Amino acid sequence: MLIVLPGALGDVVRGLPLLGRLRKGWPEARIGWAVESPSAPLLERHPWLDALHVLRRRSGAAQFIRFLGTLRDQRYDLALDLGRGIKSGAMLRASAAPRRLGFHRSDGREGSWLAATEHLPPQGVETPKLLQFLAFAERLGLPSAPLEFGLVPSAEQTRAADALLDGLTPPLLVASLGSSCPSRRWFPEPTAGVLDALAESRGTTAVLTGTEADAEFAGEVVRRMRAPVRNLVGRTSLGELLAVVARAALVVGPDSGALHVAAAMGVPVVSLWGATSAQRSTPWGQERGVVEGAASCSPCFLHDCPIGRVCMRDIRGGIVAERIETMLAVA
């Protein structure tokens, strides 16, 4: 069977419990996953997965056609489209699996449902994505099972994290700065204020994470902070980020894949929301850590905000610091 979910890191994390249900329900099955390159490292050597088909992000038409041919050559019996877009729909159809299961038309995009031979019942936009993905298991009649993600850093990733965090005194407070959409970002000044406040009240050590695109933001945070901080922005692979997060007492930041990674590993998360829906996308089990900004247009789901991210500006540093204090006390 083939899982088709090529997209963002957070979506791939939320697809892992379905993979676990498939593996436990059909332990002898050969299970593959079609994914794009940015999220692929999360699935490499995953214990529940037998095959990984990786499409390089922004590849040309010729490479995409070759990739579709590779899927067809695998002769899958069952394919599941979790991506619900035109790209995942093309992968689903190219698999040539006799049984192809996709989302209902009301939950799909770009005609993706046309590639499926069967469809789920309507899920609705406010149903958490993780539960939408698990609906495939229900449709397939798989027995219930504990919700698990199977994410464990490798020995190599653990050693790399040890080197990156060398000399830091726990507890570590990881600030995930970036997001795939600029509209979701918070701001450097309140970020620095929160990290300083927690260093004073709880003795935490701040660690900044993100991609190279977040370097300027990170530099602003570092310049504004009084407490010691370790800036790892642009310095970690996805696997190394996994190992760094595993050492955190808590992770804080706007809607991003890193927060879903943390929640999947049982690390407390405080998440900041404005442009996207907390009801739909809060990291699993971390509802108490939600902080939402108020704006009449929120959530807008826009990639870029034309009015200065007023929803995110409404999130006050004092509220975020108090929420972190509460989450740490519970943890």
Render 248-266 in DSSP notation, one character per residue: EEEEEEES-HHHHHHHHTT
- Given 78, 108, 139, the domain boundary residue is 139
C-alpha distances (whole Å) from 143 to each of 103, 139, 247, 273, 308 are: 20, 11, 33, 34, 47
Mean pLDDT estimate for the chain: 95
Task: Note down the domain range covering 88.
Answer: 2-139
Read off the pLDDT of residues 246-266 as tens digits, 9 standing for 90 and up.
Answer: 999 999 999 999 999 999 999
Q: 194 with 134, same domain?
A: no
218 and 297 belong to one structural domain: yes
| pLDDT (tens digit per residue) in 60-116 | 889 999 999 999 999 999 999 999 899 999 999 999 999 999 999 988 888 888 999
Asked, for residue 238, whether it belongs to a domain, the answer is yes
Model confidence band, residue 329 (pLDDT cutoffs 50, 70, 90): very high
Q: Is 162 in the same domain as 260?
A: yes
In terms of domains, do 193 and 127 share one?
A: no
Q: Could you tell me if 43 and 118 lie in one domain?
A: yes
Give 153's pLDDT tier (boundaries 50, 70, 90).
very high
pLDDT of 124 reads 85
Last residue of a domain, one of 139, 167, 189: 139
**Are residues 181 and 269 both part of a single domain?**
yes
**What is the pLDDT confidence band of residue 290, given thresholds at 50, 70 and 90?**
very high
Same domain, 127 and 249: no
* Residue 304: per-residue pLDDT: 94
Long-range contacts, 107-114 (Cβ 8 Å, 24+): 107/132, 108/84, 109/84, 109/85, 110/85, 110/86, 111/86, 112/81, 112/83, 112/84, 112/85, 112/86, 112/88, 113/84, 113/89, 114/89
Residues 217 and 263 in one domain: yes
Q: Residue 197 belongs to a domain with what CATH number?
A: 3.40.50.2000
Q: Per the structure block, which two tokens stand in for 84? A: 């619900």
Claim to verify: residue 130 and residue 173 sit in the same structural domain: no
| Boundary (domain end) residue, out of 83, 105, 139 | 139
129 shares a domain with 31:
yes
Task: Confirm if 7 and 89 have CB atoms less than 8 A apart.
Answer: no
How many domains does the chain divide into? 2
pLDDT digits (tens, 9 = 90+) for 162-213: 999 999 999 999 999 988 889 999 999 999 999 999 999 999 999 999 999 9
- 230 by DSSP, 3-state: which? strand
Q: Domain for residue 322, yes or no?
A: yes
Q: Does the residue 79 lie in any domain?
A: yes
Question: Would 263 be classed as within a structural domain?
Answer: yes
DSSP 218: H
Q: What is the pLDDT of residues 19-44, one digit of tens each?
A: 999 999 999 999 999 999 999 999 99
Q: Does the CA dihedral 85-87-90-94 come out positive or negative?
A: negative
Within-domain flag for 161: yes
Give the DSSP H or E segment for 219: helix 215-224
- Residue 55 inside a domain? The answer is yes
Q: Do 6 and 79 share a domain, yes or no?
A: yes
Predicted confidence band at 126 (pLDDT cuts at 50, 70, 90)? confident
The tokens for 260 are 């879903």
The answer to whether residues 130 and 14 touch, using CB atoms and an 8 Å cutoff, is yes
- C-alpha dist (Å) from residue 320 to 183, 269, 296, 311: 19, 11, 21, 14
Residue 121: predicted pLDDT: 95
- 150 part of a folded domain: no
Other C-beta atoms lying within 10 Å of the C-beta of residue 303: 11
User: 123 lies in a domain?
Assistant: yes
**122, 165: one domain:** no
Measured between alpha carbons, how far is 47 from 253 in angstroms, rounded to an integer? Answer: 29
**Above 80 in pLDDT, residue 58?**
no
Contact predicate 233/264, CB 8 Å: no
Residue 268 has pLDDT above 90, yes or no: yes
Q: How confident is the model at residue 331 (pLDDT cuts 50, 70, 90)?
A: confident
